[in-house]
Chain A
Amino acid sequence: NAGVMQNPRHLVRRRGQEARLRCSPMKGHSHVYWYRQLPEEGLKFMVYLQKENIIDESGMPKERFSAEFPKEGPSILRIQQVVRGDSAAYFCASSPEGGNTIYFGEGSWLTVV
């Protein structure tokens, strides 16, 4: 059973470009979470989605960041006009309907130059 799949694993963007991070949840999981981990910092919640719905985006910066989880296909975290401070590891996680355990992917490392 494949785990949470994230791609790309590493992404380099110049300031002002857009970054798109993709996440396919574990098979049978319908809930997706995105977290950000800055160097020497803990994991910070960004957004929680179910298929076609954003359930909680309280951790998402108000500008430049957006997330979606369409009916078909992976969840996408989109960062527009990236700045150096966006350089971080972005982790996707998933959980099953009615489940309390949350499983993480291997992360996408974004570097803004």
Chain B
Amino acid sequence: QKEVEQDPGPLSVPEGAIVSLNCTYSNSAFQYFMWYRQYSRKGPELLMYTYSSGNKEDGRFTAQVDKSSKYISLFIRDSQPSDSATYLCALKVGGSQGNLIFGKGTKLSVKP
């Protein structure tokens, strides 16, 4: 079993839809959870960062962590064509430093 599983998609939705992106993980030592957005031929851009279980909201984006189920989600409300990108979940073991373990990414396309 891989450390982080993420459905690669592609996922296609109409403009204005609510998008749900998910990752599951196997290592209960992960304590920090991040979502990155990556446009084609660009570097990953940090969207959301959470530490504990629960929800965190930032504008149209909501990150949700359920440590008991080892399941994390990113919701995008009122999706826009500019949201079309690959979304990567990234997890980090506890401690102030250390590398990230990434999911493979979900490719999202928002159609106008």
When distances are taken between beta carbons in the complex, the residues of chain B under 8 Å from A45 are 99-101
Which stretch (A11-19, A64-72, A74-82, A103-111) binds chain B? A103-111
Contacting A at CB under 8 A, from B4-40, are 6, 32, 34, 36
B97 touches A105 (CB 8 A): no
When the two chains form the complex, which single residue of A6, A41, A55, A104 contacts B45, counting CB atoms closer than 8 Å?
A104
Asked if B59 CB lies within 8 Å of chain A CBs, one says no
Q: If the complex has contacts A42-B104, A59-B99, A95-B97, are A101 and B42 also in contact, measured as CB distance less than 8 A? A: no
How many B residues touch A, CB cutoff 8 Å? 25
Q: A55-B97, A56-B98, A95-B97 are in contact. Are A106 and B42 (CB under 8 A)?
A: yes
Measured CA separation A15–B42 after assembly (Å): 25
Smallest distance from the beta carbon of B40 to chain A beta carbons, Å? 11
Tell me the complex Cα distance, A44–B103, Å. 10
How far apart sit A98 and B98, CA to CA, in the bound complex (Å)?
A: 10
User: With A and B bound together, what is the CA distance between A109 and B40 in angstroms?
Assistant: 12
A59 contacts across to B, CB distance below 8 A: 99
CA distance A33 to B104 in the complex (A): 18
Chain A 78-108 interface mask (CB, 8 Å, partner B; 1/0): 0000000000000100010011111111110
Closest Cβ of chain A: how far from B9's Cβ, in Å?
12
**Is A104's CB under 8 angstroms from B44's CB?**
yes
**Given A41, A91, A99, A101, which contacts B104 in the complex, CB threshold below 8 Å?**
A41
On B, residues with C-beta under 8 Å from A are 6, 32, 34, 36, 41-46, 49, 51, 88, 90, 92, 96-105
